[in-house]
Amino acid sequence: MAANFLRLDKPRGCRAIEGRHIMSEQNKFIQTRAFRMETSEDHPSNNTENPTMGDVINARLGRRDALRGMLAVTALSSVGGLAGNILTAGAADAAHHMKSSFKFDEISHGVDEKHHVASGHDADILLRWGDALFENSPVFDPAKQTKASQEKQFGYNNDFVGFIPLNGAADNGLLCVNHEYTNEELMFPGLGRQDKANYAGMTKDIADVEMAAHGGTVVEIKKSGGKWAPVLSSEYNRRITATTEMEMSGPAAGNALVKTNADTSGTKVLGTINNCAGGITPWGTYLMAEENFNGYFWNKDGAASHPNADMLKRYGAPGQWYNWGAYYDRFDVAKEPNEVHRFGWIVEVDAMDPTSTPKKRTALGRFKHEGAETIINKDGRIVVYTGDDERGDYLYKFVTKGKYDPNNRAANMNLLDEGTLYVARFNADGSLNWLPLVHGENGLTEANGFADQAAVLVFARKAGDVVGATKMDRPEDVQPNPKTNKVYVCLTNNKYRGDRHPLDAANPREKNPFGHIIEITPNGDDHADASSKWDILVQGGNPAKPEQGAVFNKATSENGWFGSPDNATVDHTGRLWITTDQGSAWPKTGTADGVWALETDGELRGTGKMFFRVPIGAEMCGPCFNPDDTAFFLAVQHPASDGAKAFPGFERNSTFEDPATRWPDFKDDMPPRPSVVVISKKGGGVVGS
Ligand code: FEO
Ligand code: CA
Ligand code: CA
Ligand code: CA
């Protein structure tokens, strides 16, 4: 049994960055061995010596004082824990006497083959991998999947979900869904995990299906007769894939760094990949974040002679997680050195025009974007918050030069091409400086390797290194709350914290296996200001185990705490909802991933409450509400995949023929299918009320 906890999966989506090695508390020796067996692509690439925060202990004490909303936080525990926040008998009961807007009865931690939702709610399957998106879509046949069929069907591994209302309706709109990556061992009969088999079973046809299963979906959905369903006849429906023609726009477009043999203009690029989270802009466009693009590039032997070999390394390329480079030269870093510079961007899609060309907005910088959430600043400018999901990488925001015009959609369509990208430096006194990444300023000069602003943006990570940004514990979704102007930063985990990445006030836990959530308060409610204040809202883990250093409000029940926050959303009354991605590390908490409601204000600040749970092996993505909060869209990604070996009674890796769950169809001839779920309240009304 113990040996089952050692699994050497290569990362594909962000889930496996942490989950590559199962870490069981009972098997510390296995964990040690696993660390020794790591290879370079599992390492964080930020080995700079950016300034640390001085006296860490004092800083943490300072932060403790700042946890004003917590009830009776106990004394500091040993190094590595901010504060042990131990539940006491009756504390959860006391929560019932406090005012909460979350009225649902929470579900329990646990793991099984099914999904679970809070009582009084329905969870309906809305769209599954392979479902038709057009009236002429072929019937899904997983045993005979082709590129042509996949291009007309819902893609794999749904992540971000956004909703754009049509004509202001709450019950009719465009659902925009990212398809982050593919699991060939669950998609194709008899194939197995190919990166473990030197891609022996791969063919160009299979790679083409994978490429067609990536990208995104725009699909009209409508509620009628009390049920949501896709509208297959809609003129808006489209698939975006790894081969869809796109434009490069903004300061890096046309630069020598993004020119290739196939595109000597440096302005045309094919496709988008590893689209994790994203955003919907106030003018109703769909932002797709390109995250772990490095894994799709090929030829490790050729990397050393790459003209920007140091930057390839800084971005972890070529990861060689897929073998597309064996069939397409553009994914081979030796044959087409600049193609890698054309990924790692935020892609903007005009979902209202299915013939529109998606644009890669280079002004927002190139890194492993988790998402891109926007807010209208009080002066009318748009601010986009975006994190770089890598251990020890940075948090960014982009402030547009122009102002949003609510009465002229066309005038907003290129707002994201001009503005200033900033990277965050967290100070121990609870302040935060946003450092501009502008060529010629703060050391971003030719002498330091930045020929122009395009170089600053293409190599934004290096620019962050130079200006002294704070290394974070994997910045995931960064969610502004327009009701309060607070911003929530999900930091998922970082096993190198305290080792390669020194402890600091904003990242205060050694190893940090459970992650934390930082709350940012812009000065004067001005998101464009160069400084903000910050605070830690919660620290993941079990509050009943002081050694874990978890921090939640004492009113949190034994099911209300969580680990590895990944995505976040706020509903239209300003309530915060968090989803988790523990990867294969779920045995550390004993629960599958899910959705937790999280209080942010008043006496209950920092109280979590479990609302939804995914089936074994899945992670929880895409939290999104429709405009009247009567529908809550959730994306169940990679069911049966992560940590199947630790699933009691299963204890082996899942395959197409033998998966840990066949969710959501539970038919013997149907593999598990990543799916979007829509939650409604029985009898109608606001979800979670
Ligand atoms: Fe794809 Fe960082 O989650
Ligand atoms: Ca994830
Ligand atoms: Ca994510
Ligand atoms: Ca979000």
pLDDT tens digits, one per residue of 432-486:
999 999 999 999 999 999 999 999 999 999 999 999 999 999 999 999 999 999 9
- For 518, the token pair is 């930082």
- For 136, the token pair is 């002429």
With a pLDDT cut of 70, the percent of the chain lying above it is: 87
Task: Compute φ and ψ for 96, nearest 5 degrees.
Answer: -65, -25
CA dist 616 and 593 (Å) reads 9
What pLDDT is recorded for position 273? 98
Quick one: which atom of ligand 1 is closest to the CA of 492?
2
Task: Compute φ and ψ for 632, nearest 5 degrees.
Answer: -125, 115
**Which ligand is nearest to the Cα of residue 576, counting in written order?**
4
Note residues around ion ligand 3 (Cβ under 5 angstroms).
Answer: 276, 566
> Using an 8 Å Cβ cutoff, are 292 and 13 in contact?
yes
Any atom of ligand 1 within 6 Å of the Cβ of 619: no
Any atom of ligand 1 within 6 Å of the Cβ of 263: no
> Over 60: is that where the pLDDT of 51 sits?
no
Tell me how crowded residue 108 is: count the other CB atoms within 10 A of its CB.
Answer: 11
Q: Give the distance (Å) from ligand 2 centre to CA of residue 180.
A: 9
Quick one: which atom of ligand 1 is closest to the CA of 387?
2
H or E segment and range at residue 396? strand 395-403
Quick one: which atom of ligand 1 is closest to the CA of 180?
1
pLDDT in tens, 542-551: 999 999 999 9
pLDDT category, 340, cuts 50, 70, 90?
very high
Cα–Cα distances in Å, from 458 out to 47, 91, 295, 346, 566? Answer: 19, 51, 17, 12, 25
> Over 50: is that where the pLDDT of 68 sits?
no
Number of H helices, E strands in the chain: 11, 29
CA dist 225 and 222 (Å) reads 10
Any atom of ligand 1 within 6 Å of the Cβ of 18: no
Among 614, 618, 656, CA closest to 638: 618
pLDDT category, 646, cuts 50, 70, 90?
very high
Name the amino acid, one letter, at 393: D
> Over 60: is that where the pLDDT of 40 sits?
no
Three-state secondary-structure class, residue 665? coil
What pLDDT is recorded for position 99? 86
CA dist 123 and 350 (Å) reads 29
What pLDDT is recorded for position 468? 98
**Which ligand is nearest to the Cα of residue 291, counting in written order?**
1
Q: Give the distance (Å) from ligand 4 centre to CA of residue 626.
A: 14
- Which residues does 198 contact at the CB level (< 8 Å), separation at least 6? none
CA dist 505 and 73 (Å) reads 17
Any atom of ligand 1 within 6 Å of the Cβ of 477: no
Any atom of ligand 1 within 6 Å of the Cβ of 389: yes
Note residues around ion ligand 2 (Cβ under 5 angstroms).
Answer: 14-15, 566, 581
Q: Which residue has a Cα nearest atom 3 of ligand 1? A: 14
Question: How high does pLDDT run on average in the chain?
Answer: 89
pLDDT category, 46, cuts 50, 70, 90?
confident
Q: Give the distance (Å) from ligand 3 centre to CA of residue 148.
A: 28
Any atom of ligand 1 within 6 Å of the Cβ of 273: no
Q: Give the distance (Å) from ligand 4 centre to CA of residue 164.
A: 14
pLDDT (average), residues 83-94: 41
Three-state secondary-structure class, residue 56? helix
What pLDDT is recorded for position 80? 29
> Over 80: is that where the pLDDT of 252 sits?
yes
Comparison of pLDDT for 35 and 373, the residue scoring more:
373
pLDDT (average), residues 130-142: 98
Q: Give the distance (Å) from ligand 1 centre to CA of residue 518.
A: 17
- Which residues does 172 contact at the CB level (< 8 Å), separation at least 6? 165, 166, 220, 221, 222, 223
pLDDT in tens, 159-178: 999 999 999 999 999 999 99
Any atom of ligand 1 within 6 Å of the Cβ of 276: yes
What pLDDT is recorded for position 48? 73
Any atom of ligand 1 within 6 Å of the Cβ of 393: no
Domain coordinates in residue numbering, the chain:
19-681
Quick one: which atom of ligand 1 is closest to the CA of 621?
3
**Which ligand is nearest to the Cα of residue 637, counting in written order?**
2
> Over 60: is that where the pLDDT of 231 sits?
yes
pLDDT (average), residues 628-635: 98
Strand 359-361 to 245-249 pairing: parallel
Tell me how crowded residue 666 is: count the other CB atoms within 10 A of its CB.
Answer: 11
H or E segment and range at residue 64? helix 56-66
CA dist 374 and 280 (Å) reads 7
Any atom of ligand 1 within 6 Å of the Cβ of 593: no
Cα–Cα distances in Å, from 169 out to 163, 281, 287, 631? Answer: 11, 17, 21, 13
> Over 70: is that where the pLDDT of 102 sits?
yes
Q: Give the distance (Å) from ligand 4 centre to CA of residue 536.
A: 18
- Residue 489: CA count within 13 A, CB half-sphere: 28
pLDDT (average), residues 376-383: 98
Q: Give the distance (Å) from ligand 3 centre to CA of residue 159.
A: 7
> Over 60: is that where the pLDDT of 5 sits?
no
CA dist 644 and 5 (Å) reads 10
What pLDDT is recorded for position 9? 45
pLDDT category, 44, cuts 50, 70, 90?
low
Q: Give the distance (Å) from ligand 1 centre to CA of residue 160.
A: 10
Q: Is 405 exposed, middle or buried (0-12, 13-18, 19+ CB in 10 A)?
A: middle
pLDDT category, 3, cuts 50, 70, 90?
very low
Task: Detail the DSSP E strand segments found in 437-497.
Answer: 475-480, 487-491
What pLDDT is recorded for position 14? 64
pTM of the model: 0.90
Determine the CATH number of domain 19-681. Answer: 2.120.10.30
Long-range CB contacts (< 8 A, 24+ apart) of 352-356?
352/164, 352/174, 352/236, 352/284, 354/218, 354/235, 354/236, 354/237, 354/238
What pLDDT is recorded for position 97? 52
Task: Compute φ and ψ for 651, nearest 5 degrees.
Answer: 55, 40
pLDDT (average), residues 56-63: 35
pLDDT in tens, 513-524: 999 999 999 999
pLDDT category, 610, cuts 50, 70, 90?
very high
Q: Give the distance (Å) from ligand 3 centre to CA of residue 584.
A: 15
CA dist 311 and 297 (Å) reads 14
> Over 70: is that where the pLDDT of 95 sits?
no
Least confident stretch, 79-83, 103-107, 365-369: 79-83
- For 541, the token pair is 């883990």
CA dist 457 and 450 (Å) reads 9
**Which ligand is nearest to the Cα of residue 180, counting in written order?**
1
Q: Give the distance (Å) from ligand 2 centre to CA of residue 618.
A: 10
CA dist 664 and 641 (Å) reads 14
Query: DSSP string covering 451-466, please?
Result: -SHHHHHHTHHHHHHH
Comparison of pLDDT for 346 and 74, the residue scoring more:
346
Any atom of ligand 1 within 6 Å of the Cβ of 291: yes
What pLDDT is recorded for position 532? 98
pLDDT in tens, 389-448: 999 999 999 999 999 999 999 999 999 999 999 999 999 999 999 999 999 999 999 999
> Over 80: is that where the pLDDT of 70 sits?
no
Buried b (16+ CB within 10 A) or exposed e, 361-390: bbbbbbbbbbbbbbbbbeeebbbbbbbbbb
